[in-house]
Structure 1
Amino acid sequence: MTSFLLDRFAALDSAAVSDALDRLGLPPGVGGLRPLWGPAAIVGFAVTVGLEPRGEGPAGAHIATTAVETADGESVLVVDNQGRTDVSCWGGILSLGATRRGVRGVVADGVCRDVAEARALGLPVFSRGAIPATARGRLQQRSTGEPVEIAGLRVSQGDVVVADETGLAVVPRHRAEEVADIAAGIVARERVIADEVRAGVPLSQAMHDARLAGEAEAAR
């Protein structure tokens, strides 16, 4: 059954979540990772994978396979390839395996390949772009389930990941309810403001920093 917490975040977007994180003094959302095919938005609990350049010695499990095998229908695979753009860190067979597990999407700090396969499977993949160069012989798995860094954001296993066409926001799991409450309030205020603008209220009157921050409501 889908988590009620994820349902709450699914009703939000990365901008509202970023504003809520800002309000709490937590790292806000970031840009730079884009959906590889079509409009996309994903919300889920992070399953983390850390990658590194291939070293000497026998090859271990193929990158990300162990993480995929532990994922479920509430998961977003989060792949840390340190922003590299010269080698793929996610591909078509991984996309197939992920969809078989019900994974909601992939966020990779790197580049990916087999975009058409991900599109055909309906799997949202966010990354820095696409490249055909294989990971075989070039990358190895450093960790799974351990904290990683994605586009400058620290992501721990189980954190809430919100990714859409605007950007990426990561919510520490133990602050998720608090962030969702604040973000929902921000969305509600902005809807009221937008309705007023549509009704003809001057933009300078309807939209100002104190009101957007909720200060006017708090003062009542």
Structure 2
Amino acid sequence: MNFADRLDACHSSVVHDVMKDLGLPLRVLPRTIIGLEPWMRCAGPVFTVRGRPDPTLDKHNSLLEWATLLSRVPQGRVVIVQPQDDRRALFGGLSAEALKIKGARGYIADGGCRDIDAIAKERFPVFARYATPIDIVSAWRVESYEEPIAVGNEMVQPDDYVLADRDGIILVPGAAVEAVVAAAEQKMETEGEMVKAIRAGVDPLEAYLKHRVF
């Protein structure tokens, strides 16, 4: 199992805790970026995109840029987009279907999305700040791929991994992902023993003193 699959089996809360224990910087994206459906989660190496509004584009060229964006997403990556736009939808149903077929692991936008029902039907994980029917046609273009982008107070680096679930979105440096995943797996195993103890009626203090997690 690769690091992306192993990270996807972890909880963002556990990853946060082990990164804190390892002395790594805690880089969490804004809590206003959430999954379109409660079940949505994704994890893997990131593919960063930055764009901006551009009202000078005609319909053809704006759609050409969007199709190029989808075409450039590599298999096995989680797209993170900084659109520098708080009005339009930066993703929709057909785009979700295209990225799912390409083997992308998810899509995270510091902006809007539309076609929520269609995306949910595709079972493709998408995280965004809001929904809107407004599209990007003749109004938005890509500025860069695979360069550092600012999302909230954090810089997303091209070599980062990301884990997004119902608790939030956390970034893991690529150089530390092996250590973080291994520590998270160990912590979840220990927490499982703690759960068994509590369910068996062991006093919480006694259980904590034995397992040292809560």
Deviates more, 1:11-20 or 1:48-57: 48-57
Report what 1:179 is aligned to.
Answer: 180
**TM-score w.r.t. length of structure 1:** 0.83
Q: CA deviation at 1:88?
A: 1.1
CA contact under 8 A between 1:62 and 1:141: conserved in structure 2? no
Of residues 67, 80, 83, the one that matches 2:82 is 80
1:157 and 2:155 equivalent?
no
CA offsets per residue over residues 12-43 of structure 1, 9 Å max, x none?
11111111222223124342222113511111
Report what 2:20 is aligned to.
Answer: 22
Deviates more, 1:120-129 or 1:47-56: 47-56
Q: Secondary structure at the match of 2:206?
A: helix
Query: Within 5 A, what are the aligned runs for 1:29-40?
Result: 29-30=28-29, 31-40=31-40
Partner Cα distance (1:71, 1:108) in 2: 14
CA distance 1:61–1:146, change in 2 (3 Å): farther
CA distance 1:201–1:63, change in 2 (3 Å): farther
Partner Cα distance (1:116, 1:91) in 2: 10
Structure 2 unaligned residues grouped into runs of 5+: none
Q: Which amino acid in structure 2 is aligned with residue 133 of structure 1? A: I
CA contact under 8 A between 2:35 and 2:166: conserved in structure 1? yes
Report what 2:11 is aligned to.
Answer: 13
Partner Cα distance (1:36, 1:60) in 2: 25
Partner Cα distance (2:113, 2:20) in 1: 30
Q: Secondary structure at the match of 2:103?
A: coil
Q: CA deviation at 1:146?
A: 0.9
Query: Within 5 A, what are the aligned runs for 1:1-220?
Result: 4-23=2-21, 24-30=23-29, 31-54=31-54, 56=56, 59=61, 62=64, 64-82=66-84, 84-207=85-208, 211-212=212-213
Q: Which amino acid in structure 2 is aligned with residue 199 of structure 1? A: A
**TM-score w.r.t. length of structure 2:** 0.85
CA distance 1:117–1:57, change in 2 (3 Å): closer
Percent of aligned positions with the same letter in both sequences? 25
Partner Cα distance (1:73, 1:36) in 2: 22
